[in-house]
Every structure is written in structure tokens, then in C-alpha cells.
A = this chain, B = another copy of it.
Amino acid sequence: MALPVSPLAPKSYPDLPAIAGVRFATAEAGIKYKNRTDVLLCAFDEGTVVAGVLTRSKCPSAAVDWCRDRLGAGKARGLLVNSGNANAFTGMKGRTSVTASATYVAEALGCPTDEIFLASTGVIGEPLDPLKFAGVTKEMSSRLVSTPWMGPAKAIMTTDTFPKLATASVEFDGVPVSISGIAKGSGMIAPDMATMLSFIFTDAPIDGKVLQGLLQPQIDKSFNSITVDSDTSTSDTCLVFATGKAAISPITSASDPRVEVFAEALGDVLHELAVLVVRDGEGATKLVTVCVEGAESDRSAFRVAQSIANSPLVKTAIAGEDANWGRVVMAVGKAGEPADRDRLSIAFGEITVARNGERAPGYDEVATSAYMKNQELEIRVGLGLGAGSATIYTCDLTHGYITINGDYRS
């Protein structure tokens, strides 16, 4: 099925620079799709470290299990990603498949199998034949390049309607350090561990454990702060590869002052990719930022924001451009978090619609309805209890979502 490009798609794509020590190739392995690339192979120079965050699903894919077992060692020489089949819930066949796939890649790249990372996305429950990779890995390894990144970004797409790329750079002692990333994701997106798949590449010389330590807080503010449909993938994977090629002294300690600067730049890339995933949310026509303030804690604010951002009634009202703030009240009320109805205030953008537990004095239905016609909306909720706050990005729930997920066999 060819889906129309999301109306929320960016108007242009960034031109990602080459990352020293990273080369890649894509190919058509014919896993599910016809006439499009569905495999990405990345090769990393010796000395590359890896950090990652994986799905918390109790039914993770075989590739997720494979990566989890190897993240601790922190060394990476290769990455193989396929779209079209998630290799999830495939039992022993799945485990055999990942081992074989990693072996093919290791042979092609001439490195240890345990330094190969794998990610798969697509249909769940269908065995993934590793022979599909046997035919292409060797050939791909013979034509590795370092640009353009559009190829990798497209090869990992499933129901995505546009590729997702982001880049940032920081300077240490006058030497630039690059951070670039790609992501895929459109449905089965909930803020509970990364998104579906995202891969970040940097030439920073940084210790693997330091990298792992700074990653989780950045994920929490990006991929864990988005939701399309409240459903969490079995394949969620975010991996960061650092080749160490930039000519600066190595970052070996979490207390190095450069860590904060690097983490912030990495966070920017992750955040940009995360919001792109929401912009490509299945059927999305509106990008919605839900900000909750005044909660008893940040965690509590996050749960209230989740309740709003996941509510089908809130999301359908937004789709209908209906300033139905009563449904926001409902979603706050059902969150199960500390809330005092009579202190609650709600704003749509700059328009306060409710205050102190009732409709705001002078509430202007016409102005509020006009605001709802915007493509990007903000729902602000003040609980009036404390200093906890959180922001979650979501989209509306439209006929498009039903069509994509209900009208086709997938």
C-alpha cells in the first residue's frame, strides 16, 4: 500500500555529513517489500563503542535480545537493519536467525560476531529467513560509502511516509564533533523505551560506559516523551555508535565538562528525530504538544500528560478541530495521579479555557475554535499542586489511522 506523505512532513531534509569511521550500504533483500531497499549494513572502524536503549516489552524481538546481550561489552564493528519483518515472537527460529545473520555480517566485514548489532522491524510472528541476508551482505560490504544518508534513512522505513534524519555538531578546542542520526517509526509508538528504531552515529572519542550513562536521560526527554497510539513496539531500539575519530582528547569520565555539552547536542538530535516520528504518526494531521505543570513531581506530571496524549477522546476531538476541553478534564481525572479539580487550569495555546475548576471567565468559543484549526497545537494543563512538569508530543486520531491499521491486512 502506498500511503500519502504526512501533511506534517518537514519541507526539507538535512544534509547529514560523513562520520569518520562509519560506512554503509543498502540493498533490496526482498524480505517483504518489492522494488525498494529493505536492508541497511553499517560498518564501523575498529575502536567504535556502542550504547543503547531497548524496548521494555516482555515480548521483545530476537534482535532486541541479541543486542541486549552484547551492549554490556560496548564494542561495535557492524550493524544490520532490515524492514518488513520484525523477527519478533518467532521462538527458536528467531534466535537461530539472528545468530546466522550476525555470522554473515561478521564474515563480510571480517570481525567478531559479537560486535555485530541487529535490528528488525515489520510484521510480528513471521519467521525471518536469514538466507535473505546471506545473498546480500558480502555484496554490500564491497560498496560501502559514507554519504549520502538518505539511503539508510529510507531502507529502514515501514509504514513511514517520509525518511527521518537529524544532525548536530559541537566544537571542543576548535575541533568539530558530529552527531547524526536516522529513525523510523509511525505506529505502535508509545513513550515506553525509545521509538521503534533509531541509530545515531558520532565521531566523538567517548568511553562506552560514559556514553551509556548520558544516553538514558536524553532518551527520556525525546523518544520516551512521544506517543502516537499508546502501543509499545516489541522491537524498540536506539543505538548510538561512537567511532572516536574526532581529533580531540578522549572523554573518559562522566565528570568531564564536555559530557554535558555533548549530551545536550545528542539530546537535540534525538528530540528532532522523536518529533519527526510523531509528525509521521499514522493518519496524523496535527502535531500536539501536551505540557503539564504544577504537578507534585515530574513523574506525576508525565503520567498526567500521558493520560491526555493517549486519550482517544482527546485525540479525536483534536482531529475534529473541536475545542472540547472537557475531555482534557476527563483525561486528567482518570490519570490516577494527585489532582485537585478545583485548582485545575487548562489552556489551548495562549487561550485559557478553564481555571480553578470551571470554565474560564470570558471564555471565547469562537477564538478557541479558530485556534484548533492550526496544524500545530499546544495543550497546557496547570495542576496547581507543586513544581513537577513534563512535556509529551503526540498527534491526533483520525480516519487515516483506522484506514492504515484496520482496512488492510498487514
List B contacts of A55 (CB < 8 A). Answer: 333
Q: Is A322 an interface residue (CB 8 A)?
A: yes
Task: Indicate if the CB atoms of B313 and A188 lie closer than 8 Å.
Answer: yes
List B contacts of A91 (CB < 8 A). Answer: 342, 356-358
Give, as a whole number of angstroms, the nearest-CB distance from A358 to chain B: 3
CA distance A310 to B407 in the complex (A): 19
CA distance A329 to B123 in the complex (A): 11
Task: Indicate if the CB atoms of B405 and A332 lie closer than 8 Å.
Answer: no
List B contacts of A86 (CB < 8 A). Answer: 326
Binds B, one of A8-16, A57-65, A100-108, A169-177: A57-65
List B contacts of A126 (CB < 8 A). Answer: 326, 359
Q: Is A68 an interface residue (CB 8 A)?
A: no
List B contacts of A410 (CB < 8 A). Answer: 317, 322, 324
Task: Indicate if the CB atoms of B92 and A407 lie closer than 8 Å.
Answer: no
Task: Indicate if the CB atoms of B192 and A401 lie closer than 8 Å.
Answer: no
CA distance A14 to B330 in the complex (A): 33
Q: Is A398 an interface residue (CB 8 A)?
A: yes
What is the count of identical protomers in the complex? 2
Q: Using A58-B335, A188-B330, A332-B58 as known contacts, say yes or no to A125 and B358 having CB atoms under 8 A apart.
A: yes
- Chain B residue with Cβ nearest A59: B333
Task: Indicate if the CB atoms of A330 and B406 lie closer than 8 Å.
Answer: no
CA distance A184 to B88 in the complex (A): 41
Interface 0/1 of A285-302, CB less than 8 Å to B: 000000000000000000
Task: Indicate if the CB atoms of A190 and B59 lie closer than 8 Å.
Answer: no
Give, as a whole number of angstroms, the nearest-CB distance from A299 to chain B: 15
List B contacts of A79 (CB < 8 A). Answer: none
Known: A57-B330, A58-B338, A59-B341. 20 other contacts (CB 8 A): A58-B336, A59-B329, A89-B329, A89-B341, A91-B342, A93-B358, A125-B329, A125-B354, A127-B359, A188-B313, A229-B313, A231-B311, A231-B331, A316-B405, A316-B406, A317-B406, A320-B407, A320-B409, A399-B402, A401-B402
Q: Using A329-B88, A333-B232 as known contacts, say yes or no to A339 and B399 having CB atoms under 8 A apart.
A: no
Q: Is A319 an interface residue (CB 8 A)?
A: yes
List B contacts of A192 (CB < 8 A). Answer: 334
Give, as a whole number of angstroms, the nearest-CB distance from A109 to chain B: 30
Task: Indicate if the CB atoms of A402 and B316 lie closer than 8 Å.
Answer: yes
Give which listed residue, B56, B59, B312, contacts A229 with CB less than 8 A: B312
Q: Is A325 an interface residue (CB 8 A)?
A: yes
Q: Using A92-B358, A231-B312, A312-B230 as known contacts, say yes or no to A60 and B406 having CB atoms under 8 A apart.
A: no
Task: Indicate if the CB atoms of A333 and B406 lie closer than 8 Å.
Answer: no
Q: A residues 226-248 with Cβ under 8 Å of B?
A: 229-234
Q: Is A84 an interface residue (CB 8 A)?
A: no
Q: Using A93-B358, A312-B312, A358-B91 as known contacts, say yes or no to A402 and B319 having CB atoms under 8 A apart.
A: yes
Give which listed residue, B93, B322, B334, B358, contacts A89 with CB less than 8 A: B358
Q: Is A138 an interface residue (CB 8 A)?
A: no
List B contacts of A324 (CB < 8 A). Answer: 409-410
Q: Is A377 an interface residue (CB 8 A)?
A: no
List B contacts of A408 (CB < 8 A). Answer: 320, 322
Q: Using A232-B333, A330-B188, A335-B58 as known contacts, say yes or no to A313 and B405 having CB atoms under 8 A apart.
A: yes
List B contacts of A359 (CB < 8 A). Answer: 89-90, 125-127
CA distance A326 to B408 in the complex (A): 15
Give, as a whole number of angstroms, the nearest-CB distance from A124 to chain B: 3
CA distance A125 to B233 in the complex (A): 36
Q: Is A187 an interface residue (CB 8 A)?
A: yes
Q: Is A344 an interface residue (CB 8 A)?
A: yes
